[in-house]
Structure 1
Amino acid sequence: MTGRPVELVVEGLRYEVDGRTLLDGIGLTARPGETVGVVGPNGSGKTTLLRCVYGTLRPAAGRVLIDGADASALGVKERARRVAVVPQDAAGTFGLTVREVVSMGRSPHKRFWEQDGPDDRLRVARALETVGVSALAGRRFDGLSGGERQRALVARALVQEPGLLALDEPTNHLDIRYQLEVLGLVRRLPVTGLLVLHDLNLAASFCDRLYVLSGGRVVARGRPEQVLTEELLAEVYGVSARVAVHPETGAPNIVYLPERSAGVTPAAGPAA
């Protein structure tokens, strides 16, 4: 259901808008088959970074390499065969059924206006089943709940057969069961994953490595147990917390102490 996992390398990425620097010299690597999480407070540049990776924003400096190829030099269809995106929202889907939205993921593999063939329909059916929305295939996409829409967008990305799956808050609007199922699915797929996440405990459980952004810069990188320290949470997020090893998973487990966090001020950085 996916292509061959690719290597992603981001080098010296800078993005500016209206005189403000939203990304400042970002460097990031995701090895083939690895799941990499991007975390940080609101406004730190996470979604901007993801949009530069999949090509909806053009950086002022730096480059994005996919298996060594400069992504900016790839054609739209070629880039879409290598990178699939699960955004926070889905534009251009008004009036379409779930099956039609998911079928849009086959576009990079077809000629303009080419209709779906038997193989396309089979791949769409499998993707719908994989994310648990087969029963919704005939319903209008814009009539679904937030969680149902999110799962349909994951199915659309899967039928694109990418080597890199970029997800912007994939657990948004999902209840706990589907948060675990969607992130578990990303881990099981033969694909390189790049995830923007707010929930640090989920990031610790499902990501091989984390990049922490603050003020448009990478302020920490490494395995979750190396990155998610009490000191970093206080400095970057402005919260007091206790970090322990989860007895079942071995991943860091964060317990926040809200009554002690009021006076903690996050580190400053460029406007983002």
Structure 2
Amino acid sequence: MSGRRPVELAVEAVRYSVEGHTLLHGVDLAARPGETVGVVGPNGSGKTTLLRCVYGALRPTAGRVLLDGADAAGLGAKDRARRVAVVPQDAAGTFGLTVREVVAMGRSPHKRFWEQDGPDDVRRVAEALETVGAGDFADRPYDGLSGGERQRALVARALVQDPGLLALDEPTNHLDIRYQLEVLGLVRALPATALLVLHDLNLAASYCDRLYVLSGGRVAASGTPAQVLTEELLAEVYGVRTRVTTHPATAAPNIVYLPPGGHRAEGGGPGRAG
């Protein structure tokens, strides 16, 4: 897949409030061009709210989001869509569109109004469908897909958009282990900056260059996975007991969750937090 130049992202003192309730308290975040940055934290910590501020679904109450130094608030919808592609947890109803038609919508920012798909658009859509393993159900109605099939279609739609920045909210949601690994490996290999909201801390440790841990709408820690994913921080932020070791195959932190009360789990495993 081709792509535009990776975007440099800067989130500066972003605050977001709704109905008198503050969800983000002056969050700072940065992603260098081509970097894969993960946002992790317990439920309700502000992860999805932050991501929605980055891709423009929400406008920060204060602070700003910069894309290559330009304030994203000043960009038109089409210009923003040329720079940023979004993979939400799920998409709204598509009124009977097939998977292929949903994926083809990713080409819209690069075409004039009512312009038909050309041969290159058709080829790019077919490539994206095969890349995410959706070729076999490309002509089925999107609304009739399973959660995992929908997620793969949404990733394919983002790929054909040629983004400089990919914003992904739980991209492994509904996926079995094989497709979790394939989708995250694909994100890592793309010529784009990526900002991912993830719950699975072991996946975040394996596939992200750096992590930001949110707690109560604030950044509790940031740095490499090894710097951030410590037993002390996980106890403080998530309220869980863990053993953190270095994975022998990947050299990434490997987290084993322990039951409360001081009894170590038999075997252990990746598990999920938050």
Q: Is the structural similarity TM-score above 0.5?
A: yes
2 CA distance for matches of 1:203 and 1:260?
27
2 CA distance for matches of 1:243 and 1:131?
32
2 CA distance for matches of 1:41 and 1:94?
34
2 CA distance for matches of 1:93 and 1:42?
28
The residue number in structure 2 matching 1:19 is: 20
Amino acid at match of 1:235: E
Amino acid at match of 1:58: R
Residue 222 of structure 1 deviates from its aligned partner by 0.0
- Contact 2:93 2:143 (C-alpha < 8 Å) held by counterparts: no
The residue number in structure 2 matching 1:266 is: none
- Contact 1:167 1:194 (C-alpha < 8 Å) held by counterparts: yes
Residue 66 of structure 1 deviates from its aligned partner by 0.4
2 CA distance for matches of 1:226 and 1:136?
42
Q: Does 1:205 align with 2:206?
A: yes
Which deviates further from its counterpart, 119-128 or 168-177?
119-128
The residue number in structure 2 matching 1:235 is: 236
The residue number in structure 1 matching 2:57 is: 56
The residue number in structure 1 matching 2:10 is: 9
Alignment map for 1:116-265 (pairs within 5 Å): 116-260=117-261
User: SS where residue 116 of structure 1 aligns?
Assistant: coil
Provide Cα deviations, 1:96-142, integer angstroms capped at 9, x if missing partner: 10000000101101111211111111111111111111111110111
1 CA distance for matches of 2:10 and 2:246?
30
User: SS where residue 91 of structure 1 aligns?
Assistant: coil
Residue 260 of structure 1 deviates from its aligned partner by 3.5
TM-score by structure 2 length?
0.94
Q: Does 1:69 align with 2:70?
A: yes
2 CA distance for matches of 1:197 and 1:250?
20
Provide structure 1 residue ranges, at least 5 long, that are not aligned to the other structure: 263-272
Q: 1:261 to 1:192 in 2, by over 3 A?
A: farther
Which deviates further from its counterpart, 130-139 or 30-39?
130-139
Residue 2 of structure 1 deviates from its aligned partner by 2.0
TM-score by structure 1 length?
0.95
2 CA distance for matches of 1:165 and 1:104?
16
- Contact 1:98 1:152 (C-alpha < 8 Å) held by counterparts: yes
2 CA distance for matches of 1:157 and 1:108?
11
Amino acid at match of 1:52: C
2 CA distance for matches of 1:127 and 1:248?
30
Residue 261 of structure 1 deviates from its aligned partner by 8.0
Moved over 4 A (4+): none
User: SS where residue 260 of structure 2 aligns?
Assistant: helix
Provide structure 2 residue ranges, at least 5 long, that are not aligned to the other structure: 264-274
Amino acid at match of 1:51: R
Identical amino acids, percent of aligned pairs: 81
2 CA distance for matches of 1:15 and 1:258?
35
Which deviates further from its counterpart, 31-40 or 2-11?
2-11
- Contact 1:240 1:260 (C-alpha < 8 Å) held by counterparts: no
2 CA distance for matches of 1:200 and 1:172?
13
Amino acid at match of 2:62: A
User: SS where residue 259 of structure 1 aligns?
Assistant: coil
